[in-house]
Amino acid sequence: MSEQPTPAAPESTTGDPGTPPRTRGAAVVSRRRLLGTAGATGVVLGTAGALAGRSTAAPAGDTPLASVGSGQSPFHGRHQSGISSDLQSSGHLVAFDLVPGSGRKEAAALLRRWSATAERLMSGEPAGDGDTGVALDAGPASLTITFGLGRSFFDRTGLASRRPDALAPLPPYSSDRIDKSRSEGDLWVQIGANDSLVAFHALRAIQRDAGSAARVRWQMNGFNRSPGATSHPMTARNLMGQVDGTRNPRPDEKDFEQKVFVPADGEPDWMANGSYAVVRRIRMLLDDWEKLSRGEQEKVIGRRKADGAPLSGGTETSDMDLEKTDAEGDLVVPFTAHARISRPDYNQGVTILRRLFSYHDGFGEDGAPDAGMLFVCWQADPMRGFVPLQFHLDRGDALSQYIRHEASGLYAVPGGAAQGEYVGQRLLEG
């Protein structure tokens, strides 16, 4: 985990953070969305009844329940959706390997199929022939489907000479307990939606489209708090109960693009406007964490658990006073606090865009919960982003003894597809 978590800025429905977001509900009406809207009219948002009797016109920034299904993200755009988009309440991460005998031609056909399916599903339409019908009565629910390419993809397709230098193997870290069977992969897909059935429907459609060209290597399922679950928008919490999203870079910041995306004239040329995703399955050792008092937990993080404010005082967004001491002369924010060590100004300006899901996969043989974070971070160059930041965290972060990295992957995520294109076309047909 890092002090640079999930984005709170409004989602751009053009796939381009520089474009003003489309008004929710103004998207094209589909059969699924009409049915979803009809079904939503009888439901009341239940934050302890706090919104009962309130006008249907919600205050700016609030998310009335009826709008959840109508949220729509675009497939086409300068960047793929699912990078700077708002967090969704349900998600799946899945990696595929091309089967023996599948090469560049088969990979191109597969990405063409996947792109066509993603475009339909993200607009709220059925997947096509053989649609399972799982989400027929739902709207798009802010569905995003994002595609990435692993290091091995370039060997399988004879394109090793066009593999980016930034797609180098990640170095090992002391907190790593990496299961190779749940790591890497030729192709990677991130699916997110604000409805679990919509997300599952997309997952099944992507798996079916893989056909005989690719097989699933691994799959992980995650969740977040649902939109409208709180009476006003709030930064997300993780399974440790910590506010997790305070210092993430925002799309409205002037240097956001250069931190997160490969420039239009960058190298290699087919990665223009793309990004790199580091994916880590981070298990939280919750039994150990929950033995700590609240005060001890706060010192590990460097922030108050109640509201995410720095221990030095103020509100969640207040600047952290790193020199402030208590009555005994000890630093209020300890040297080893996660929030101190992960700061960009402690890491030569390194900034990553985190976009995560929580997960819970039952219990291990020792009875400890198998739960934690599906960590996805985005950057223009992982060798200048995640890699040096994780080295710094690995050497002194107090949080390290309460987490374990159990799976890992690094993927090149091409820029968004223009009308008439599929994701990765500039690589595969260039």
Q: Distance (Å, rounded) from C-alpha 159 to C-alpha 336?
A: 44
Q: Distance (Å, rounded) from C-alpha 246 to C-alpha 8?
A: 8
Phi-psi region of 2 (alpha: psi -120 to 50; beta: other; left: phi over 0): beta
The CA radius of gyration of the chain, in Å to the nearest whole number, is: 21
Phi-psi region of 331 (alpha: psi -120 to 50; beta: other; left: phi over 0): beta
Asked if 184 contacts 95 with a C-beta cutoff of 8 angstroms, the reply is yes
Q: Which residue has the tokens 């294109």?
A: 421
Fill in the DSSP letter of residue 310.
B
Q: Distance (Å, rounded) from C-alpha 359 to C-alpha 391?
A: 25
Q: Distance (Å, rounded) from C-alpha 2 to C-alpha 21?
A: 28
Among the listed residues 244, 255, 330, 361, the single catalytic one is: 244
Phi, then psi, of 197 in degrees rounded to 5: -70, -35
CA 145 to chain centre: 11
244 among known catalytic residues: yes
List, in sequence order, every beta strand (DSSP E) within 312-423: 353-354, 357-363, 369-379, 403-413
Find the distance separating the first CA and the last CA of the chain, reported in whole Å.
38
Instruction: Give the angle subtended at the CA of 278 by the CAs of 167 and 107, to the nearest 5°.
Output: 60
Q: Distance (Å, rounded) from C-alpha 233 to C-alpha 74?
A: 23
Q: Which residue has the tokens 């009797």?
A: 53
Fill in the DSSP letter of residue 66.
G
Question: Which residues form the catalytic set?
Answer: 244
